[in-house]
Structure 1
C-alpha cells in the first residue's frame, strides 16, 4: 500500500506541494475571519470552572454569580497594584493619602476600572485591583500593562513608596520573554541537531519551514473548532501544541529521511529511493502515529474539560503531521534528491560501526543480562514514584520578575488567599444585610479563614468573600474546603436558604476529585487502545504484551525521576496535578512509537531469514541511529519547556521519559526480550518464511505536476 502511495506522491510532487499550500493558506484566512487578530487567544478559557461539569458546586456557584451578581467588568483581565514603603515600615497617614491619590489617577486607554485601595491589617501594604478592557491573550494587553507600570512608577517617584503589579495580566506580561525563549530555544535546538545528524542545513531549514507552515493550519483548525463548538482552550493546549508539532513532526521526517538516504546510497534514483523508503517505513510510521493519536484520544474519557480538549487537539496535530510526513515531505525531498543533503558527502558511503552497532552486538550476545539491567534501571527510578504528591498550585510566576517580587510584598500584609478569595453565595427568601453579615461572622470563625472580605446583598441573594489563611491552592486549603468550609457553610446557613461555595479553591477541590477518577479510568483505557494498535500491526500476542509492559515501566520510571528532581532536589511540595496524565500520554505513546519502529525492523530481518540474535543485531545497527536521533530531538524539544514558569515539570518529565523510551526501552529492553523469545514474539503471524524484498521499478515522472 505504501509503495503505491509513494509512487503517486513522487509522480505529482508539485501538485502535492501546491495542494498543501492552498489548504494551509485557506485555513489561515478563515481563521483570521473567524477569530480576528487574537487567533487562538480568542477562545482561551478564563477560569477553571470553564472546564468542569455543571454538577460540581464550584460550577453552580459560578453560574449563580453570573445571574445574581453580574460583573460590570465583563471578562477583562485583571492586575493588582501593590503599594508599600521602601523601608518596609507601616504606611504613615501621608503615605496612605499619597497611595489613594495614585490609585485615583490610574486609568487611560485599555483600563476599564479600578477597585480600591485597601489597607492591610498590619498597615504595611495598600492594594487596588485594575480591570482591563481586554482579556488575557489580546495583543494590546501587554502594552497596556507596560504603560500602567511606568505611569505608576512616575507617580510614586520622590516619595517613600514603591509600586508593583502582580495578578494574571502582570504575570502574563512577565512570562512573555520566557515564552519567546521557549519557542526560539526549541527551534534552534531542533535546527542544530538536524544539522549535526544530516550534516546539511537544507534538511534542517526545510523541516522547520514545512512544520511551521503545517502547524499554522493545525492551530487554525483547532481554534475554529473550539469557536464553533462554543468551548474554550486552556494553557496546556496552547503550550504543548507547538512542541508536539515540531517535536513529533521532526521525528517522522528523521525516520523517513534515514531510509531515503539509505536507498540513495544503494544507487537508486531520487524518486525510486523515496518510493522504496515509504514502502519500508511508511507502515511503521503510520501505525506509530495511530498509537500516539489513540493514546491522546483516551483523554476524551476525562471528566475534566481541559483534558477532553487537550487529547483530541494533540491527536489531530499528530495525524496531520504524519500525513504531511507521508505526502508533503516525500514530495519536497523527491524533487531535491541528493541536493537536500548538500554539502555533506559522507552519507554516500556506508557508515562505520558506531554506538548503535556496538549495542546491537552486546544485546545479541547477552540478551538476558541486558534485559535485567534495563529492568533494574526502570525499577530504581520507579521506586521514587511511590513518594509522588500532586500539587494544584499552577499559578507559577517567573522568578525574579516584578510580579513575583510584588506578590512577596503583598503577602507581607495580607492573608495568603487575598488574590483568590473563596466566595460563598447565599440565596433564598429572607436574606438581608443583617442575616448575611451574621452568617459571614460565623464563617469567619473557621480556622481556615484568615480574614473576612466584602459582604454584598442584592435582592434575596448575598455574596460573602472569605480570605483563606492558607495558600488557596495548597493541599491544606483543598482539604479544608472539602472537610471544613463547605460543610460549615451549608450547616450554618439560615433555614430556607441555599448555599453555593465558589472561588479558585472550591474549583480545584472539584478538579482534584475529577482527576483522581480520571487516573483510574484513562490510564488503563489508553493502555488497552495502544495494545489493540500493537496487535493489529504485529499480528502477534507476546510482543504487544511485553511492549506494553515496557512503556508502563517507562512511565513509572519517568514519574519517579520527576519526583526525585522536583520534590527532592528542588524541594517542591508536589508535582503539577496534570503531570501523571500528560506524561503517561506522551511516554506511553512515544515509547510505543519508537518500539514499533525497532521491532518492525527486527521482524523485517526475521522475515529475510536471519536468526533471532542476528535480526536484533542488524536491526539495532540500522534502526538504532534514526530512533536515537528522533528521541534526542523530541527530548530537546520538550527540554526547552524547562525554562517555562508553568510547564517546566512537564517539559523535564517528558524529556526524561523520551530518553528512557529511546535508550532503555527501544535500544535495550525490547530488543533483548525479542532476542530471547525470537519468532514466538509474533505468533501466530508467520515470520519464518524468507522473503525477497524486490526494489520498486524506477518511477516514470512527468515533471510540472
Structure 2
C-alpha cells in the first residue's frame, strides 16, 4: 500500500527534516508486533538521508585543504590563516548571495549550495598559493617583508586578477541559459570568485606582509633555493623536445576525448545514497508498483460540462498508450478535471521523455472532449521541456563562454596566437574530461548516462580553471622572455619556478572537488571537475602550453612586442633573513 505525505514547508527546512525523523520513528513503533514493514522515500526523505553526507563533504574538503597546505608550505600557520580568512570572507559572500536570492524571490538549489563552498575554499586557496610562492621567492632573494609583498603582487597580481576575471565571465555566461537553475548558479559562482580574488589581492597580502617570514614558521627550508624537482625536469624536457611533448599531450587529450562520443545525458537527478532507507524503500516500491508511481504524470482538463464519467472515459483512452502503466486517479469538479497517469517506464528515462513528446502529449490533446483545454504536467513533462532548453543552451553558452574567455586573453596578452592555442587547449581539456567521466560512470559503473547538467558545469570549471593556470604559466614565460631569455630557456625557467605553485594549486582544487564524490547528487560533478583540473594542471599548463610557446617564442605574442625589460633595483633591508641568497 502506498500513502503520500505533503509538507507545508519546502524541502531543506529544518522542520521538514525533523518531521521525516518523527514519521519514520512513529510509523515503526505502530507496526511493532505486526508482519507489516514501512519505509519512507521521496524528495524529503532523500534530503534527510544525505544530510550527514553533506556535512562529511564539507568537513572532508576543509581537512584535505589543511593537510595539503601544511605539506606544501610545511607550516601550520599558513594553512590555518588561509582557512580562517577564506571562511570569514566566504561567510560574507554566502550571506550576500542568500539575501540577494531572497530579495529576487528565488531559491538556492542543491547545485548552488553544494558548489559554493568548493569554489570559495578551492579557488580562494589557489590565489593564496600563487601569491605565497612568489612572496616566498622574493623573501629568499633578501627583500624585506613589505618590499617582497609589493614585488610579488607586481609580478603575479595582474595574472591572478585576469585569471579570476576569466573564471567569473565564464560562469557569468550561464545567465544566457534558459534553465532557471543555471541562471542562479552562474552569477552566484562568479560573485564568489570575484570576492575571493579581491581578498586575495588586498586582505591576504596585508596579513602575510605583516607576518613576513614568521608566517612560514617552523620551517626553515624555504630560505634555500629548492632543489631541482619534477617541475624542473619537466621544464628541461619541454625545452629540449617541445614538438614531441606537444604531440604527446594532444594524444592524451584525444584518447580520452574519443570516449566523449558515447556521452548520454541522464535526467534522473533524485540520486539516492546506497544503503539508506530512502534507497531501500524505493527498491521495494519499484518491485510492486509501476516505475512512475512516485512521479505521476498529471493531465489537467479545463472546460464546461466536465463530469466524473467523461473524465474517466478520457483516462481510459490514455491508459491504452504503451507508455502508461495504469491510471492513478481521476477527479472532476464540473469545469476542471485531473487525471493521474503512472508511467510504465522510469519517468526520467530517455524512453519516457521521448514518449512524452512523441506520444503522450499529442494523444492527450487529441483525445480531449470537445471544448476543453489540456495541460500535461508532472516531472516527465517538465524534464522533456528542460531537455529541449539544455540542448539549446549547449549551442549558446559554450561558444559565448569561449568568446568571453578569448577576449580576456586578448586583453591580457595583447597577441593573437597565444589566445588561440590557449583557448584550444582548454576546449581539448573539456572534451577529454567529459570522456573520462563517460569511461568511469557509463562504462565502469554502468550508469545509463551522465547528469544532464554535467557538460555545462564541467565546461565552466575546466575552461575557466584551465585558463587560470595557463595564464599564470604563460605570464611567467613572457616575464622570462622580457628578461632576455631565449624561448626555450624562458620555458625551462618558467616551469621550474611557476610549475610548483600551479601544481600545488591544481592538486588542492582537485582534492576540494574530489570530496564531492561521496555526495549522492554531486558525485559525477566532483569526479569530472577534479579530473579536468588535473588534466588542466599537468597536461595543459605543464606540457602543451609551454611546448607550443617554446615552438613559437615571441611570435606567440604578436603583434605585441616582448622586448627586454629593465629590472628595477632591489631593496634589501635589515629584515633580510639569514642565509638568503643575495643575487638576483
TM-score, L = length of structure 1: 0.80
Tell me the distance in 1 between the aligned counterparts of 2:569 and 2:533.
Answer: 34
Tell me the distance in 2 between the aligned counterparts of 1:699 and 1:281.
Answer: 25
Kindly report the root-mean-square deviation, in angstroms, between the aligned alpha carbons of the 2 structures.
3.7
Distance apart, 1:703 and its partner CA: 28
Tell me the distance in 1 between the aligned counterparts of 2:552 and 2:482.
Answer: 15
Q: Any stretches of 5+ residues in structure 2 without a counterpart?
A: none
Distance apart, 1:168 and its partner CA: 1.2
Distance apart, 1:695 and its partner CA: 16
Secondary structure at 1:166 match in 2: coil
Q: Counterpart in 1 of 2:240?
A: 365
Tell me the distance in 2 between the aligned counterparts of 1:690 and 1:506.
Answer: 69
Distance apart, 1:143 and its partner CA: 2.4
Q: Counterpart in 2 of 1:158?
A: 33
Moved more, 429-438 or 582-591: 429-438
Tell me the distance in 2 between the aligned counterparts of 1:458 and 1:345.
Answer: 81
Distance apart, 1:650 and its partner CA: 0.4
Distance apart, 1:690 and its partner CA: 15
Give the direction of change, closer, same or farther, for the CA distance of 1:558–1:692 in structure 2 (3 Å limit): farther
Asked whether the 8 Å contact 1:236–1:310 carries over to 2, the reply is yes
Q: Counterpart in 2 of 1:464?
A: 339
Give the direction of change, closer, same or farther, for the CA distance of 1:308–1:372 in structure 2 (3 Å limit): same
Distance apart, 1:489 and its partner CA: 0.3
Asked whether the 8 Å contact 1:640–1:651 carries over to 2, the reply is yes
Give the direction of change, closer, same or farther, for the CA distance of 1:384–1:689 in structure 2 (3 Å limit): farther
Secondary structure at 1:466 match in 2: strand
Asked whether the 8 Å contact 1:272–1:699 carries over to 2, the reply is no
Tell me the distance in 1 between the aligned counterparts of 2:305 and 2:5.
Answer: 34
Asked whether the 8 Å contact 1:452–1:466 carries over to 2, the reply is yes
Secondary structure at 2:6 match in 1: strand
Secondary structure at 1:162 match in 2: coil
Is structure 2 residue 204 aligned with structure 1 residue 329?
A: yes
Is structure 2 residue 49 aligned with structure 1 residue 171?
A: no
Distance apart, 1:576 and its partner CA: 0.3
Asked whether the 8 Å contact 2:177–2:183 carries over to 1, the reply is yes
Tell me the distance in 1 between the aligned counterparts of 2:122 and 2:440.
Answer: 24
Give the direction of change, closer, same or farther, for the CA distance of 1:443–1:483 in structure 2 (3 Å limit): same
Give the direction of change, closer, same or farther, for the CA distance of 1:184–1:603 in structure 2 (3 Å limit): same
Q: Counterpart in 1 of 2:467?
A: 592
User: Structure 1, residues 229-273: CA drift from partner, whole Å, max 9, x if none?
Assistant: 122222111111111111101000000010111111111111111
Secondary structure at 2:284 match in 1: helix
Give the direction of change, closer, same or farther, for the CA distance of 1:354–1:695 in structure 2 (3 Å limit): farther
Tell me the distance in 2 between the aligned counterparts of 1:540 and 1:692.
Answer: 33
Asked whether the 8 Å contact 1:271–1:334 carries over to 2, the reply is yes
Tell me the distance in 1 between the aligned counterparts of 2:320 and 2:122.
Answer: 53
Secondary structure at 2:330 match in 1: strand
Distance apart, 1:689 and its partner CA: 15
Moved more, 595-604 or 265-274: 265-274
Secondary structure at 1:129 match in 2: coil
Asked whether the 8 Å contact 1:382–1:561 carries over to 2, the reply is yes
Give the direction of change, closer, same or farther, for the CA distance of 1:602–1:288 in structure 2 (3 Å limit): same
Distance apart, 1:162 and its partner CA: 1.5
Give the direction of change, closer, same or farther, for the CA distance of 1:496–1:416 in structure 2 (3 Å limit): same
Tell me the distance in 2 between the aligned counterparts of 1:492 and 1:139.
Answer: 44
Distance apart, 1:133 and its partner CA: 3.6
Secondary structure at 1:463 match in 2: strand
Tell me the distance in 1 between the aligned counterparts of 2:27 and 2:219.
Answer: 58
Distance apart, 1:140 and its partner CA: 2.8
Distance apart, 1:507 and its partner CA: 0.3
Distance apart, 1:147 and its partner CA: 2.1
Q: Any stretches of 5+ residues in structure 1 without a counterpart?
A: 1-125
Asked whether the 8 Å contact 2:260–2:434 carries over to 1, the reply is yes
Tell me the distance in 2 between the aligned counterparts of 1:194 and 1:600.
Answer: 24
Post-superposition, which runs of at least 4 consecutive aligned residues in structure 1 deviate over 3 A?
Answer: 688-705
2:276 to 401, 416, 437: 401
Distance apart, 1:144 and its partner CA: 2.2
User: Structure 1, residues 131-181: CA drift from partner, whole Å, max 9, x if none?
Assistant: 234321112332222222111111111211111111111111110111111
Give the total of aligned pairs. Answer: 580
User: Structure 1, residues 89-109: CA drift from partner, whole Å, max 9, x if none?
Assistant: xxxxxxxxxxxxxxxxxxxxx
